[in-house]
Structure 1
Amino acid sequence: MSEIRPRRSVLAMPGSNARALEKARTLPADVILIDLEDGTAPGAKEAARAQVAAAVAARGFGRREVVVRINSPETEDGEADLEALGPAAPDAILVPKVRTSDALIAVGSRLRRLGAPAATRVWAMIETPMAVVNAAEIAGAARDVDGRLAALVIGPNDLLKAARIPPPGRAALTHWLMTVLAAARAYEIEAIDGVFTDLNDATGFEAECAQGRALGFDGKMLIHPSQIGPANTAFGPDAATVTGARRMLDVFEAPENRDRGVVAVDGKMVERLHVESARRILALANAIERLGG
């Protein structure tokens, strides 16, 4: 099993906000997503780019994963973002409005030429109907040497607008969400659910987190620090789940069960195929513990 990194909470913040970047160093988010695209005004992009590159290069975010959303790589701002961030080596570059895998492979190739380390991965925003239609092809970039793809991130508001679905509209997107999730799982990459924008509706946010977790997403993109705690709770294994996973492994690893495909665990018949899931739960729990909970 490859190393597991918790991505329960992906907190977005504008790259132009120096105070927010400083505060991010202390927040309990698994991922800090610094936004140079929609979250940064056109007139502030140049200064924000330099500020973000310096902050990323300084490596002051501890165990938090640092991802930077660039402007479209087809624009001058997008190219300048890559030139500044390649040497700074964030954990990942988030590419907006991806429609095909070609854009991801082009970004990965550009990062290589800029000298970015192989550890700098690429994430893809899925925020157009074309991206949903091409989800499997986009996820396939994970298998290309220059693809570097590690995660698909849902852009629900853009999808709702493009589909002409009136608000709130979340339920109408379920099939689209599962299409993206299936593509991510087919190529063994992460899938991150999109933002919930009503900061006054804590109950609604928790319900959407629960739904996202039930659908199979690994975490959620957030717009405010107040959303971190509920997201971490929803997308992390609870104590009972961890205990059950550990119990399952103990039973299967007992000498008398090592060659059996099905065993009884606390009165329930469990197949060996569930062992890998149990190992992943424990690995995720251990990774979360290393982050500080």
Structure 2
Amino acid sequence: MRSKLFVPGSRPELFDKALAGEADALSFDLEDAVAEPRKAEARQTLGRFLHEAGAAAAAAGKTLIVRVNGLDTPHIEADLQAVAQPGVQLINLPKPESADDVRRAVALLQAAEQANGVTEPIGLLLNIETPRALRLAAELAGADARVRGLQLGLGDLFEPLGISRRDDLAVRQVMLAVRLAAGEAGCWACDSAFADIADTAGFQAEAAVARGLGYIGKSCIHPRQVALANEAFRPGDDDIAHALRVVQAADRAEADGVGAWVVDGRMVDAPFLARARATVQAARRLGLLPATA
């Protein structure tokens, strides 16, 4: 999921266009992108689209995500009843503040799945966008097996506190904290959106930092950011070649009973091998390597 494109739930004219685009994942938004008077209309329209689009999304290799309204709103139960449809892989939960919040969301999601005949459990993507959520991020991520990932929300986290969104040190510190929390819980992390659509260089720089910290991809608020994210989170040719050499050398090392070995002048042991294997798997998923490489 290199790129995750937000699609306003109140803009049905964009749904098919987004489905035909290059984003790995589509995050249909019923929260911030939909004005209060249009919440009911948006959830009904989106629910109908998802009911019909699941097969097409699967054929296109798209991950379908819906950001619902928060647990502190009157909308979440109706949102889940409308959008918990076959083919939806993730529900994006905004502003969870405790493990109990996560478990409450799971209970509501299970009820919606049962009502809609969903047989494949839908995962949760938790937004880390408040100071409390940041402090408890690992606890939130480990609250239920349904949690697949954490998503960093820098705008919601920084703006109320007067922290500059362009403070690179602050951004990196929070990125690292969320990635480590996800790692503790055994799930992945997805990077925040970048609001300045015209600042291509800024988006690329932040995406490069996120990739270096082990994030799987970046949120996009405009289609023009999708290609930038896809490129930023694509394994480089040199990385792929090195990973292949590490994996190949591991077979020889195992046969020789060696726990650490040298590849390209660098010491390699179990953690480096795990990363190399992940790089090879990612390259295969993206069609950069044949299945048997």
User: In the aligned structure 2, how far is the partner of 1:100 from the partner of 1:169?
Assistant: 28
- Deviation string, structure 1 residues 71-103 (Cα, Å, up to 9, x no partner): 113322111101112245511100111111211
- Which residue of structure 1 aligns with residue 169 of structure 2? 171
User: In the aligned structure 1, how far is the partner of 2:44 from the partner of 2:9?
Assistant: 9
The alpha-carbon distance between structure 1 residues 257 and 12, as it changes in their structure 2 partners (threshold 3 A), is: same
How much identity, in percent, do the aligned residues show? 32
- Which residue of structure 1 aligns with residue 6 of structure 2? 12
Aligned counterparts, 1:242-257, within 5 A: 242-254=240-252, 257=255
User: In the aligned structure 2, how far is the partner of 1:162 from the partner of 1:225?
Assistant: 27
- Which residue of structure 2 aligns with residue 40 of structure 1? 34
Of the three residues 96, 105, 108, the one matched with 1:107 is 105
User: In the aligned structure 2, how far is the partner of 1:169 from the partner of 1:79?
Assistant: 37
Aligned counterparts, 1:214-225, within 5 A: 214-225=212-223
- Which residue of structure 1 aligns with residue 204 of structure 2? 206
Give, in angstroms, the shift of residue 137 of structure 1. 1.1
Give, in angstroms, the shift of residue 180 of structure 1. 1.3
Gaps (5+ residues) in structure 2? 289-293
Could you tell which deviates more after superposition, 172-181 or 232-241?
172-181
- Which residue of structure 2 aligns with residue 284 of structure 1? 282
User: In the aligned structure 2, how far is the partner of 1:233 from the partner of 1:244?
Assistant: 19
Q: How many residues end up aligned between the 2 structures?
A: 280
Of the three residues 180, 183, 195, the one matched with 1:182 is 180
RMSD of equivalent CA atoms: 1.8
User: In the aligned structure 1, how far is the partner of 2:126 from the partner of 2:197?
Assistant: 25
What secondary structure sits across from 2:158 in the alignment? helix
Give, in angstroms, the shift of residue 249 of structure 1. 1.0
Give, in angstroms, the shift of residue 121 of structure 1. 0.4
Gaps (5+ residues) in structure 1? 1-6
User: In the aligned structure 1, how far is the partner of 2:175 from the partner of 2:265?
Assistant: 35
- Which residue of structure 1 aligns with residue 191 of structure 2? 193
Is the Cα contact below 8 Å between 1:98 and 1:126 reproduced in 2?
A: yes
TM-score, structure 1 normalization = 0.90
Q: Kindly indicate whether structure 1 or structure 2 has the higher relative contact order, using CA contacts under 8 Å at least 6 residues apart.
A: 1
TM-score, structure 2 normalization = 0.90
Give, in angstroms, the shift of residue 289 of structure 1. 2.2
